[in-house]
Chains A and B, each alone.
Chain A
Amino acid sequence: MALGLSVIFGVVRVVNFAHGEMMTVAMYLTLVLVSALKLDPLVLLAPIAAVLFVFGYLLQLGLINPFINRPEHSQFMLLVAVALVLVNAQLIVFGPDAQGIRTAYSFDSFQLGPLIVDAAKVYAAAAALVVAGALFAFFRFTLLGKSIRACADNYQGALVVGLNVKRLYALTFGLGAACVGAAGAMLMVVIDVTPTLGPAYTLLAFVIVITGGLGSMPGALLGGLLIGLTEALGGVLFVPSAKSMFAFALLVLVLLFRPQGILGKKTS
C-alpha cells in the first residue's frame, strides 16, 4: 500500500490523501467477490488490482489531471473530498459493521521453535513481495516503466522527447491504485473491513513512505519493515498500548536527521 503512495508521489507529485479509502474500496470488492465466487482472496489479487488500476487511471485522467499545476492545498482538498465521498458511499452500501472473510488458513500458524507465526500474514507478506518485485521489474525493464521514470526525473525533458505525459501520469496513478488494490485483497485475509478504516491506513502509509523516503520504492519497503519492527519490539519490550508512539518517534528522528527519508533523494 505504501509502495502505491510512493509511486504516485514519486512520479505525479500528488500526495494521495484518499489512499486508505481506496484500499477499503478494494477490501469491500474482495469481500463481495469472495462471497460470490467462493475463491481465496489471494487468488483474486490480480483481478482486484486490475479493477483498481482502471479506477485510478480514470480518477487521474478525469479529476486529478486538471489539478496537477494548481497549488498543493487545492490538490489536498480534492483528494480529501474524494476520500470523504468514498467513505460515505461505503457506509451507505455496506453499513458501519466490521465484515471479514474466513479462509481455510485464517486460524493457522507456523511454529518455528519458540516463535509462532500467523500463516495468513506469511501468505500476505509473500504476495506483497511478489507484487513489489513485479513493480520493480516493470519500472526497470519495460519501455513504459522507463518512460514513467523519465517523466519523474525530468518533466520538461519528457515533453521534449515527445512522451505523452498526461497518459503516463494516468498510468502511474493507475499503477499506484493497483498496488492499493493488491494491498486491500491481501489485508482482507488479516483484518476485517469497516468504511472508516481508511484514514488510519493513509496515516500509516504516510509514516512509512516519509520514513523510507517519499518517492522511493525501495524506501517504501524499508520504511514498512522498520515501522513494523519498531511497533512490534516497542510493544513487546515496553508497553503494547504505546507501540504507535515508537513508530512516530522513529518518524520524528528521521525528519530531524534525514528529512528526505532514509532512501529519499535530497531536493533543492
Chain B
Amino acid sequence: MKRRQFSKALAAVGTFSLVNPVGIVRAQPRSLKVGVLLPRSGVQAGIGQDCHRGVQVAAGVLKELGLPALEVMNGDTESNVDVARARAERLISEGAQLLVGAFDSGQTTAIAQVAEQRGIPLVINIAAAPPITEQGYKFVFRNFPTAPMILGDAFANQLEVFSAAGAAPKSCVFMHVNDTFGVAMQKGFTGVMSKFTMPYKVVDTIAYDPAARDLSVEVAKAKASGAEALIMVSRLNDAILITRELVKQRWSPMAVLSMGPGWYEDQYLKTLGKLSDGPLSFVPWYDPNKKLSKQLEGAHRKAFPDINLNTNHIYTFEALLVAADAFKRAGSTDPKALADAIRATDIKDNVSTGPGIQFNAKGQNDKLKNSAIQNRGGKLVAVAPKAASNAKPELPMRPYDKR
C-alpha cells in the first residue's frame, strides 16, 4: 500500500469512527434459538408428540402476526426428570437462547433449575405444580395455571355446568395419578373445594401409579364406594385404561369430571370411539370466540385435519408466542434482555381463556382462566364459562351400555 492510499484508508476509518461512536458494527439478530423440551418418548410420549404439533403450527401463525422467526431446537425428555435436566444442559450448550417446555411438572422443575443456573429464560408451556414459580427464579416464566388456579376454576365451572344442565351428583370418588402434578392437585383439592358450596361429597380418594398397565383394582374400589360420579386427575394412558375398566366393570357414573389431561385428547377420542363421549374436562383451554383462536384453529386444521385443537397445542403455541414477542421487543438474543422483555409481556390478542398474557413478579401469568369442555361425537365443545363457550353441557352422561 502506498503512503497516499494508507492516508485515505486511515481517514475513512476515522470518519467512520466519528459517525459510529460505539465503534462496533453489530448485526441485528435474525432469529432466536429456542430449545423446546418435550416428553416425546416414554410414558408421556403421546402427549409430548401432541405438544409438538403446537410447535409445528406456530411458525406460520407467528409469521402472519409479523413476529420474528424462531429457530427451534428439539429435545426429548423421554418422560424422565434426569433426562430432562441433561437435555436442557445440552440444548443450552448447543446454543439455545431460550427454553420452552416441558409439559410435566417434575421434568419442568428440573429444567427450571438448569435455566436459572445458566441464566437462560424458560417459558413453561404446561406444568401446574405451584412451587416452580415460588422459588424466586428470575429466568422462569409460566403461562399456564397452577394447580390451585386449575382447581378453583374447576369448581366454579362445575357449579356453572350443574346449573346449566339442571343435574348434579351427590357423591364423588376422587382418583388421581400419583406423580408431581397429581399429588399437587390432590394436596390442593380439599382446601380449594372448601371455598365452594359443592352439591357433592367426596367419599373416597384413590391414588394410582402413572405407569400402571392395569387399573382394574382401582376402578373396582371406586365403584364399591357407591359414588355417583368420578373426579379425575389423570394422564392419557390411564384415562383410556379407566374408561375401559368402567365399561368392563359395568359402571356408568353420572359424570366424569376431569381436572387434568387425558380425557379430551385425540388419542382418547380415537381409541375409544363412542365410549369417549360424555366426560367433562375442567382444563386450561382456549376461548373459541377470540380472533387469534380462529387463526390458530385454521392453521391447525390445515396442518392436522384429523386432530382437534387442544390444551397441548394451545399452550405450547402460546409459549412460543411469548418468546417471539419478547424477542421482537428486546431486539436482542441476550438472555437478560429477553428475560426483561418477557417480564414486561402484555399480549391481549391471545388464544387461551382469560384476558391475555402478562406475568407477575414471580413469573406467573395469574390472569389465566379455565374452561369446561365436553366430548361430543369425537369433537370437543366448550360449555363454560358462558362467555368463552360454544355449546350447552349434557348431564348425566349416557350409560356405556346404551351407546
Contacts and interface: CB of A to CB of B under 8 A. Distances in A.
B365 interface: no
Most B Cβ at <10 Å: residue of A97, A106, A191, A197 = A97
Contact of B45 (A100, A194, A231, A232): A194
A192 B217 contact: no
A240 B207 contact: yes
Given A96-B46, A108-B248, A116-B250, A200 B213 contact: yes
Given A118-B248, A196-B42, 11 more contacts: A97-B49, A98-B46, A98-B240, A98-B267, A100-B271, A107-B244, A109-B250, A116-B249, A235-B217, A236-B217, A241-B208
B217 A243 contact: yes
A200 B212 CA distance: 10
Leading 7 A-B pairs by shortest Cβ distance: A96-B45, A235-B217, A241-B207, A107-B247, A240-B218, A96-B41, A109-B248
A191 B271 contact: no
5 contacts: A97-B49, A97-B267, A109-B249, A200-B211, A240-B207
Interface string B186-224: 000000000000000000001111010110111011000
Contacts of A108: 248
Contact of B46 (A97, A109, A119): A97
Interface in B221-254: 221, 237, 240, 244, 247-250
Contacts of A190: 214
Interface of B: 40-43, 45-46, 48-49, 178, 206-209, 211, 213-214, 216-218, 220-221, 237, 240, 244, 247-250, 267, 271, 275
Interface of A: 91, 96-98, 100, 106-109, 111, 116, 118-119, 190-192, 194, 196-197, 200, 231-232, 235-236, 239-241, 243-244
Contacts of A107: 244, 247-248, 275
A61 to B, nearest CB: 32
B248 A116 contact: yes
Nearest to A239: B207
Nearest to A97: B46
B17 to A, nearest CB: 57
B403 to A, nearest CB: 11
B209 A91 contact: no
B305 to A, nearest CB: 18
Contacts of B49: 96-97
A85 B244 CA distance: 32
A119 B247 CA distance: 12
Contacts of A240: 206-208, 217-218, 221
Contacts of A96: 40-42, 45-46, 48-49
Nearest to B216: A118
Contacts of B42: 96, 196
Given A108-B248, A116-B248, A118-B248, A244 B209 contact: yes
B248 A241 contact: no
Contacts of B248: 107-109, 116, 118-119
A53 to B, nearest CB: 26
Nearest to A197: B213
A194 B48 CA distance: 14
Contacts of A200: 211, 213
B129 to A, nearest CB: 18
Contacts of B214: 190-191
A199 to B, nearest CB: 10
A133 B292 CA distance: 64
A239 B43 CA distance: 22
A33 to B, nearest CB: 20
B52 to A, nearest CB: 11
A200 B250 CA distance: 29
Contacts of B46: 96-98
A192 B237 contact: yes
A91 B41 CA distance: 9
